[in-house]
Structure 1
Amino acid sequence: MKLKPGIISLVALSTIIFAGCGGSSGDKKTEEYSSKGEELFKNNSCVSCHGKDLEGASGPSLKKVGSKLSQSEIEKIINEGKGSMPSKVLEGKDAKEVAKWLSEQK
């Protein structure tokens, strides 16, 4: 069966048009964060040890860290390190933001 040239052009054109719609090319999945602290945590090396959902991995779970440690205690650990966690993974305002967010995890 042989297609007419006009039909082939229409098929090619619709393929080009629909290929650009809703595909993954250029579309970036944007994650929403409850706070700046959560965003910093999830976009830094914290996730590699403590897990994206705070479930823990090579580092301890932080799911309920706020019921065990205060914001200032958490910030001290971020600044000084603890165990195999290095010091100053985050500094200044970033450390404060993450400590605040983690202290709310109860």
Structure 2
Amino acid sequence: MKRNPLIPFAMIAIVGILAVIIISFVGINQRDQIAGGDEGQAEEAIMENPEEIYEANCMSCHGADLSGGLGSDLRTIGADKSLDEIQNIITNGTEGGMPAQQGTLAEEEIAIISEWLSEKK
């Protein structure tokens, strides 16, 4: 009995197409949940650990050890700037340097990272 060599390939193609369709529907559902999420979910996304906030948002410019690089050295920022000054810089940025983080970070996250940095003396 001679077997058709195309049948295994056809079966794989059908399974692959079905997998793509299923994954697409799952992705659309997740996109809708993210876009239409209620405010309670958004509040849960706020990071409370200053080290996590720093790693996610600041480390690429200010270095893993706060020593700077593209951004300025933050190891002793608390000795040079007050809490309010640090918070203002993070929120509004500086001319020709630090970009404003308002809109990128939640107000609570800005307050948390500002307090953490103000203790660096």
The interval holding the TM-score normalised by the smaller chain is: 0.5 to 0.7
Q: Partner residue of 1:78? A: 90
| Partners of 1:78 and 1:90 in 2: CA distance | 9
| Partners of 2:83 and 2:105 in 1: CA distance | 15
Q: Partner residue of 2:53? A: 40
- Which residue among 95, 99, 106 is the counterpart of 2:110? 95
Q: TM-score, normalised by structure 1?
A: 0.62
| Partners of 2:90 and 2:55 in 1: CA distance | 15
| Partners of 1:70 and 1:96 in 2: CA distance | 13
- Unaligned segments of structure 1, at least 5 residues: 1-34
Query: Secondary structure at the residue paired with 2:108?
Result: helix
After TM superposition, give the deviation of residue 85 of structure 1 in Å: 1.4
Residue identity (%):
41
> Does 2:117 match 1:105?
no
Structure with bigger helix share is 2
| Partners of 1:52 and 1:42 in 2: CA distance | 7
Q: How many residues align?
A: 71
Higher relative CO (Cα under 8 Å, sequence separation at least 6) belongs to: 1
- Unaligned segments of structure 2, at least 5 residues: 1-47
Check conservation: 1:79, 1:91, Cα contact below 8 A: no
After TM superposition, give the deviation of residue 43 of structure 1 in Å: 2.0
| Partners of 1:72 and 1:80 in 2: CA distance | 12
Structure 1 moving runs of 4+ over 3 Å = none
How large is the RMSD of aligned CA atoms in angstroms? 1.4
Counterpart of 2:49 in structure 1: which amino acid?
K
| Partners of 2:97 and 2:78 in 1: CA distance | 20
